[in-house]
Amino acid sequence: MRKPQDQTRSSGAAIPESGYIVSRRAVLSGLGAMTLLGASGCSQTLELPALGPIEPSGGMPPVGVDHMPTGSIGPIPSISVDRNITDNGTMYAALTDNGFVIPAIPFQKVRPEFRRQIVVDPTGEAPGTIVVRLNERHLYWVQEGGEAIRYGVGIGKAGFEWNGRAEIQYTKEWPTWTPPKEMIARKPELVKWTAGQPGSLDNPLGARAHYIYKDGHDTGYRVHGSPEWWTIGTQASSGCVRMINQDVIDLYNRVKASPTKVPIVVA
Cα(91)–Cα(103) distance, rounded to whole angstroms? Answer: 12
Looking at the chain, the whole-number percentage of residues with pLDDT higher than 70 is: 70
Residue pair 147/79 in contact by the 8 Å Cβ criterion: yes
Rounded to an integer, the average pLDDT of 242-248 is 98
Query: Of 42, 67, 217, 240, which one is the catalytic site residue?
Result: 240
pLDDT of 39 above 70: no
Rounded to an integer, the average pLDDT of 50-79 is 44
- Mean of pLDDT over the chain: 79
pLDDT of 247 above 70: yes
More confident residue, 23 or 115: 115
In Å, the largest CA–CA distance within the chain is 101
pLDDT of 14 above 50: no
Q: Does the model's pTM come out above 0.85?
A: no
Query: Of 42, 67, 210, 224, which one is the catalytic site residue?
Result: 224
What secondary structure does DSSP assign to 21-35, as a single string?
Answer: PPPHHHHHHHHHHHH
More confident residue, 179 or 10: 179
Question: Is 224 tagged catalytic?
Answer: yes
pLDDT band for position 155 (cuts 50, 70, 90): very high
Residue 131 is predicted with a pLDDT of: 98
Cα 64 from chain centroid (whole Å): 43
Rounded to an integer, the average pLDDT of 35-56 is 39
- Each residue of 198-232: pLDDT tens digit? 999 999 999 999 999 999 999 999 999 999 999 99
Residue 72 is predicted with a pLDDT of: 40
